DNA sequence: CGCTTTTGACCGGCGC
DNA sequence: GCGCCGGTCAAAAGCG
């Protein structure tokens, strides 16, 4: 979700009540309408309600406009991002191949057709896995740097709440993964599982899954890289049969009731981090996204399933952008400071309106 | 039989 | 240089 770095989610939106606010005594702003209502005791209740409604409508329409603007900004960013990715892939395609890991073993030269071709074409030393003649040390480090930056920019971290009793590290995200390792790390007694995308042979995406050290019912999955293939339509073993859309937010229904548990999706792109609070069920249930209300994970453990990738395809989907916008709106409206600012803005506008009309 | 998972060994990076 | 640690390999076992 790199585009969030370009989206200013601060409250300094185009709605600018500041000149008005400066005229408003501070205690009125902080009083959250109570002081305001006291001042208006002598006013007719109908006028007050009508004005408030009018103002509310105006703010709503403004909010709608801002939402549309945000959508446009997101779309523009995604278009630019895709262009940049295309450009980078054409520029670094050879470099990426030639800088494949230094620990290439027998299996990789067999299983990875890309590297295999490269080996054939360039007489690469299979034991060392590196074409020492084809790239000078400067170029090599440069290639490596570019590759690392490229990968680094596509790191996605997803955390989700699961049943604490569920010891598996299975994260259902619609892709096909092959586990290739498990390790107990120093800072976390829970083992970390390493997965590789097994849908396409050359897909470079890797996934690390580990339970949170603070709350072991939370599973943290770290995705690295970008899928070079569409999401697999093949259902995962025992999983739901319609798992194929990457942009889906799955809410698993267990025993006929939609469960909603605290769950945050933290998408990190080595820069700004946005945390999507998926706690509020209505923000999920009423969404016009492909959802799966009738499926239960094989273990029955994952009460909410969050699917995300760093692929441009996913980010480009309008439903995802709509989802993101709504999540932003939800997060904003949940924020007390945002509420205070909104209240101040509305009261300021009311004051301004009343000053202009001379009514109070 | 083929695919996936498990698991001990191995490798490279990094800090000291 | 050495040891620690995270990441990966690959043989063996498991599974459908």
pLDDT at A23: 39
What's the token pair of residue A11? 């409250």
Q: Which nucleotide is nearest to A176 if distance is taken from CA to C1'?
A: B4
Whole-angstrom distance, CA of residue A293 vs CA of residue A295: 6
Report if CB A194 to strand C is under 7 Å: yes
Q: Residue A88's pLDDT is what?
A: 55
Q: Which nucleotides of B are covered by protein (CB under 7 A)?
A: 3-9, 11-13
Within 10 angstroms of residue A37's Cβ, the number of other Cβ atoms is 13
Task: List the A182 CA – B7 C1' distance (angstroms).
Answer: 8
For A120 and C9, how far is CA from C1' in angstroms?
22
CB of A93 within 7 Å of some strand C atom: no
Q: What is the 3-state secondary structure (H, E, C) of chain A?
A: CHHHHHCCCCCCCCCCCHHHHHHCCHHHHHCCCHHHHHHCCCCCHHHHHHHHHHHHHHHHHHHHHHHHHHHHHHHHHHHHHHHHHHHHHHHHHHHHHHCCCCCCCHHHHHHCHHHHHHHHHHCCECCCCECCCCCCHHHHHHHHHHHHHHHHCCEEEEEEECCCCCCCCCCCCCCCEEEEEEEECCCCCCEEEEEEECCCCCCCCEEEEEECCCCCCEEEEEEECCCCCCCCCCCCCCCCCCCCCCCCEEECEECCEECCCCCEEEEECCCCEEEEECCCHHHHHCCCCCCCCCCCCCCCCCCEEECCCCCHHHHHCHHHHHHHHHHHHHHHHHCHHHHHHHHHHHHHHHHHHHHHHCCC
Instruction: Give the bases of strand C that a protein CB approaches within 7 Å.
Output: 4-10
Return per-residue pLDDT of chain A as tens, 360 residues: 333 333 433 333 333 333 333 333 333 333 343 434 444 445 455 577 778 888 888 877 777 777 777 666 666 666 666 666 665 555 444 333 333 333 333 333 333 333 333 333 333 333 333 333 333 444 444 444 554 555 445 678 888 777 656 666 777 677 888 888 898 888 888 889 998 887 776 777 888 888 888 787 888 888 887 777 766 543 333 333 333 333 333 333 222 233 333 333 333 333 333 333 333 333 333 333 333 333 333 333 333 333 333 333 444 455 555 656 665 666 555 555 555 556 666 666 666 655 555 545
Task: List all residues 6 or more positions away from A162 whose beta carbon is below 8 Å from its beta carbon.
Answer: A217, A218, A219, A301, A302, A303
Asked whether residue A179, judged by its CB, lies under 7 Å from any atom of the DNA or RNA strand B, the reply is yes
Q: pTM of the entire structure?
A: 0.42
Q: Can you tell me which residue has its alpha carbon closest to the C1' of nucleotide C8? A: A181
Bridging pattern class, strands A304-306 and A249-251:
antiparallel
Which chain A residues 205-234 have CB under 7 A to strand C? 206, 208
The per-residue pLDDT for range A297-354, each reduced to its tens digit, is: 333 333 333 333 333 344 445 555 565 666 566 655 555 555 555 666 666 666 665 5
Strand C contact with A255 (CB < 7 A) = no
pLDDT at A89: 54
**Residue closest to B3, CA→C1'?**
A178
Q: A160 forms bridges with which residues in the sheet?
A: A219
């Amino acid at each position: 979700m790199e585009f969030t770095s370009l989206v200013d989610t601060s409250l300094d939106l185009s709605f600018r009540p500041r000149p008005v606010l400066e005229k408003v005594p501070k205690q009125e702003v902080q009083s959250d309408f109570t002081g305001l209502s006291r001042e208006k005791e002598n006013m007719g209740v109908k006028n007050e309600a009508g004005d408030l409604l009018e103002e509310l409508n105006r703010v709503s329409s403004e909010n709608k406009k801002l939402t549309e603007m945000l959508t446009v900004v997101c779309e523009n960013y995604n278009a630019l991002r895709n262009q940049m990715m295309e450009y980078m892939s054409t520029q670094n395609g050879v470099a990426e191949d030639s800088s494949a890991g230094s620990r290439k073993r027998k299996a990789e030269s067999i299983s990875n057709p890309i590297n295999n071709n490269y080996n054939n074409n360039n007489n690469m030393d299979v034991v060392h896995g590196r074409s020492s003649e084809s790239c000078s040390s400067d170029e090599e480090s440069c290639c490596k740097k570019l590759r690392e930056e490229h990968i680094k920019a596509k790191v996605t971290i997803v955390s989700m709440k699961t049943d604490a009793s569920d010891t598996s590290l299975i994260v259902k995200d619609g892709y096909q993964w092959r586990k290739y390792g498990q390790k107990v790390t120093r800072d976390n007694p829970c083992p970390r599982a390493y997965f590789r995308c097994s849908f396409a042979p050359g897909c470079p995406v890797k996934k690390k899954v580990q339970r949170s050290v603070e709350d072991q019912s939370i599973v943290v999955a770290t995705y690295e890289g970008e899928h070079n293939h569409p999401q697999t339509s093949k259902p995962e073993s025992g999983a739901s049969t319609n798992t194929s859309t990457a942009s889906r937010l799955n809410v698993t229904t267990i025993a006929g009731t939609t469960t909603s548990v605290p769950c945050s999706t933290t998408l990190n792109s080595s820069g700004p981090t946005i945390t999507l609070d998926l706690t509020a069920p209505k923000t999920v249930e009423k969404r016009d996204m492909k959802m799966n209300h009738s499926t239960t994970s094989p273990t029955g453990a994952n009460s909410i399933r969050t699917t995300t990738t760093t692929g441009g395809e996913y980010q480009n989907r309008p439903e995802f952008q709509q989802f993101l916008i709504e999540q932003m709106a939800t997060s904003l409206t949940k924020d007390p400071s945002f509420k205070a600012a909104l209240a101040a803005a509305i009261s300021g506008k009311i004051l301004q309106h009343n000053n202009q009309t001379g009514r109070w």
